[in-house]
Structure formats: C-alpha cells, structure tokens
Amino acid sequence: MTMASNGARIKVSREPRRQLNNRAAWITVDDGATENACAVVDISPGGAKITTEVEFVVTDRLALTLLADHAKRYPCEVVWRRGNTYGLKFVTADAEPDEPAVEPVGAV
C-alpha cells in the first residue's frame, strides 16, 4: 500500500524577521561623513532589507541608524541589490575596537 502525499512541504527555518513597513532610517558612508535617508522594509538579527534612492554596489560597506536621536550605528555590507532595494548583512567590526571587551561579573 502506498502512502498518499498530502502536499505538505518542509518548512525552511529562517531567522525571525520583523516587518517594519518602510520605517524611516539613515545610512552613513565615508566614516559618517555622508548621511542619507532610507526606508527599512524588514530586519532580522543577521541583516536588513532597505530601499533608498542612493546607489550602492554589492560589497559596499555602510552603517545603518534606526533611530534619529540614537547614536548607535550598525555596520553593514551590501550583499544584494534589486533596483533601489538592497539586502544588508550586519558585520562585526573586528578591526575597530571602539568598545572595550567587558568580562562578565564573577569571571575568573
């Protein structure tokens, strides 16, 4: 007897994404010298999808600021482009030790 397939597909596990409905944000290039507005379509722990009128090339580096009055900039690399929509990957700044490493309390 053969088993009938019910057409169910295996769900691919992905990072949780949060839809931001084109929330305003800012991108900076040239070590913060140039700032441009963009819109964040969605965001996940590993990256973001943005739309902007600024032209970028895949592999360009930039920083993403999500709040106007917040100094936190997330270093990113452009990993794909479709028209004026870009996929960004958050990167860790190994070469820029801006913040000293903090050891957990009680570490020996």
Q: pLDDT digit string (tens) for 41-71?
A: 999 999 999 999 988 888 899 999 988 777 7
Helix H or strand E encompassing 90: strand 85-90
Average pLDDT over residues 28-32: 81
Q: Which of 86, 13, 81, 93 is nearest to 43 (CA)?
A: 86
pTM: 0.67
CATH of 18-90, one of 2.40.10.220, 3.30.390.50, 3.40.1440.60, 1.20.1440.230: 2.40.10.220
